[in-house]
Structure 1
Amino acid sequence: MWGVGWDALSLVDVADERPAIERRALARGAFYETQARTMIEKVPATAGITERWAVSPYRGCAHACRGCGARRPHRGLGLDAGRDFDTRIVVKANAAPRLRAELTRWQGEPVAIGVGGDCYQEAELTYHLMPPLIAALAEAGVPFTVYTKSPLVLRDAALLRSAGARVAVSIAFVDEQIRRAVEPGAPTAQRRLELVAALAEAGVECRVLMAPVLPLLSDAADQLAATVRRIAAAGATGVEPVVLRLPHGTRQWYLTWLEQAHPALVERYAELYDKAGMPAPGYESRITGQIAQLAQAYGMSCGPAPSPAPRPPQADQLALV
């Protein structure tokens, strides 16, 4: 006969203490496969890009960029905004059909792809979510920009060209020592510069998002000049500078690293950033002004490009053939 203690415990439900994402997703190694309720989401005001709406097939990013502004939502999944964001990637397995359903009611406003995590990170090699997303946007005639650091985007160059899409490749600096410290999982700057050239050769409109410029780490005049010079040499037509943002979630992760790697800079960062994680306006305008002068010297435009015009829906064109 069981003891009283055992019998009592058997009647008590043990609380499920797993992260929320593990209770509602299918775990496959480092990936959590989910069924998204919505695909078109509002872009955070701190993102620094022109689009107001975004589509992100993945949440979290193996590029592990310390200053990534998309970290906070991982907390709502029961994960942390630091290491978990880098290693526990949420995959929206129904991304394409969900997006198609939402596009039937969309008014054609431009969207960004890859704000919640690089859409061409390693997970895309397994899940191949991007081709049907590109097709859905192209068929609906919705203009879109793909934000990425990954050469994997070249796999879909023909699709992107046909859709009239724009690709924004992120190259914030060309110092490899800094890249290893703050973007440990990302391709090198040299590989991304080669990507810019390859996209241009493939006929895909490409701009460079010079983001994030890191205060007191990658913002010296010679560093900015070297970066803009190499971006121009790669064949980019324009550069869009964005100074590092530190919204909640990102701030804690980045400053923890900064305190360990560069403790003398912590106090200066506290002075430079407001509670929302935005850099001081005077500092930001000085840095973007320097980059604008450099871009002009190398024959590039600087700042956000005009939003691409809506295209006729491809499905309608096919129906006329």
Structure 2
Amino acid sequence: MKPIDPTHVSKERRRGRAAMSNRPGRFEPHARERVDDGWMGDLEALAPIRTETNVEQPSTILSRNSSPDLGFDRSVNPYRGCEHGCIYCFARPSHAYLGLSPGLDFETRLTVKPGAPDLLRGEISRKAYRPKPIAFGTNTDPYQPLEREHGITRGCLQVLSEFRHPVTVTTKGTLVERDADILGEMGQAGLARVSISITTLDRALSRSMEPRVPDPARRLRALETLAKAGCPVMVSIAPVVPGLTDHEIEKILVAARDAGADTATMILLRLPLEVADLFREWLAEARPERAGRVMARIRETRGGSDYDAEWGRRMTGEGTYAAMIWQRYGVALSRLGMAGKPKHLRCDLFEVPLGTADQPSLF
């Protein structure tokens, strides 16, 4: 019998996906290996990998963190996994906790949490609860294609609007335009801010690197729509890929400023755990002529390794090349009038409305 490379998934089977392989997660005790025993026929004729959806009914929906690198202490993730399929996504390793692969499973075996709005309502209604901005889009995208069918993110926003609770949203999905009515009203009240993530303006590169994300021009139009609706909008250049996309920083900032962004944020590429191998595989196939240079630049900004998870460095990198990137970014922000920090969202308007389970209405 002839062994088959277990990491190989044909282009036809993974069409529209970024990951090339589907290795078991790091917690799995066994690996699977396909073997051609003569009865399998043409392996290339296997059906394309389709998206599967499962339902999760968690007991809580607010996630807490105490990371010094993050500007929020609580978040909501309506979905696990992300069909956008960005090859560089730092959240891929989280799929290993589900017994799934951070590779193709992360893009194709997704989980929805339809009870999220009701759970959120219950958690922020508690007497001991104290409001601070709740972040959406911190792990997987709240406006990935699943949201069109399930509407979980919109349901959560409706709850937060009812409670006048501050919220931030980070997304690559243009479906966020659908919720401009809620986000615009909340934004005008100082309760909402949206960050649109743009990694590159090169449509072909975007299609390869983040295959199911709307193209960059379309995301800029979404940014403009939200700004016109009255919601403060910023652009997130995340991640910057050294040697591949860092030359676009100024162009992205100009395009976002012209579309209505008032400020920006930036994060250097992170390759934690399984992401490093997945990214190298993609780079070798998608940009073979630049693969060596890009990985060399990445290691130059990470102390000679693929990744450095140290607090204070994991978002920014280190060394001369990283310093040059950040200097260019800072100069461009100042020149474009985008150097100011986003305004703090208001927490003083928060109020548990009458008629909730913990505070029933008298009427």
From 56, 60, 73, the equivalent of 1:38 is 60
Q: Which amino acid aligns with 2:153?
A: M
SS of 1:107's partner is: coil
Contact kept, 8 Å, 2:117 with 2:156, in 1: the verdict is: yes
Indicate which of 95, 99, 116 corresponds to 2:120: 99
Distance in structure 2 (CA, Å) of the matches to 1:311 and 1:161: 19
Deviations 1:239-287 (A, max 9, x none): 1111112222323322332344343133443343244283532344432
Contact 1:36 1:93 in 2 (8 A): no
Aligned residue identity for 2:342: A
Contact 2:84 2:144 survives alignment (8 Å): yes
If the length of structure 1 is used for normalisation, what is the TM-score?
0.82
Q: Does 1:264 align with 2:302?
A: no
Partner residue of 1:199 out of 213, 223, 226: 226
- Aligned to 2:100, the other structure's residue is in SS state coil
Query: Deviation per CA, 1:165-198, whole angstroms, max 9, x where unpaired?
Result: 1111101221223212211111111001111111
Pick closer, same or farther for the CA change 1:281–1:275 going to 2, 3 Å: closer
Matched to 2:163, the amino acid is A
> Structure 1: which amino acid aligns with 2:249?
L
The corresponding residue for 2:204 is 177
Segment of structure 1 superposing worse, 207-216 or 106-115: 106-115
- Residues 38 and 190 (structure 1), Cα distance of their counterparts in 2 relative to 1, 3 Å cut: same
Cα deviation, residue 158, structure 1: 1.1
1:291 is aligned, of 323, 329, 332, to: 329
Moved more, 170-179 or 254-263: 254-263
- In 1, the alpha carbon distance for the partners of 2:267 and 2:94 equals 21
Report the 3-state secondary structure (helix = DSSP H, G, I; strand = E; otherwise coil) of the residue aligned with 2:222.
Answer: helix
The CA distance in 2 between the partners of 1:53 and 1:159, in whole Å, is 21
Normalising to structure 2: TM-score of the pair?
0.73
SS at match of 2:246: coil
Task: State the partner residue of 1:15.
Answer: none
Which residue type is aligned with residue 350 of structure 2?
P
Q: Does 1:250 align with 2:275?
A: yes
Deviation, 1:316, is 4.5
Query: Runs of 5+ in structure 1 lacking a partner?
Result: 1-18, 21-27
Letter in 2 for 1:89: L
Structure with the bigger percentage of helix: 1
SS of residue in 1 equivalent to 2:264: strand
Q: Distance in 2 between matches of 1:92 and 1:293?
A: 42
Distance 1:159 1:306 in 2: 19
From the superposition, tell whether residues 306 and 288 of structure 1 become closer, same or farther in structure 2 (CA, over 3 Å): farther
Q: Which amino acid aligns with 2:60?
A: T
Alignment of 1:153-164 (within 5 A): 153-163=176-186, 164=191
- Equivalent residue for 1:228, pick from 253, 258, 273: 253
Superposed CA RMSD: 2.9
Superposition map of 1:120-139 within 5 A: 120-139=143-162
1:209 to 230, 236, 239: 236
Matched residue, 2:90: 69
Indicate conservation of the 8 Å contact 2:235/2:253, yes or no.
no
1:82 and 2:103 correspond? yes
One of 217, 224, 244 as aligned partner of 1:190: 217
Measure how far apart 1:203 and its partner are.
1.3
Residue 80 of structure 2 is matched in structure 1 by 59
**Residue of structure 2 equivalent to 1:13:** none
Q: Quickly say closer, same or farther: Cα 1:275–1:239, change in 2 above 3 A.
A: closer
Code of the residue aligned with 2:173 in structure 1: it is S
Structure 2 CA distance for partners of 1:99 and 1:287, relative to 1, 3 Å = same
In structure 1, distance between residues paired with 2:353 and 2:54: 36
Residue identity matched to 1:30: E
Using the TM superposition, give the Cα deviation of residue 291 of structure 1 relative to its aligned residue in structure 2, in angstroms. Answer: 1.3
SS in 2 for 1:167: strand
Aligned residue type for 2:89: C
Change over 3 Å in CA distance of 1:236–1:317 after alignment to 2: farther
Q: Is the 8 A contact 2:62 2:120 kept in 1?
A: yes
Identity level (%): 31
Q: Secondary structure at the match of 1:31?
A: strand
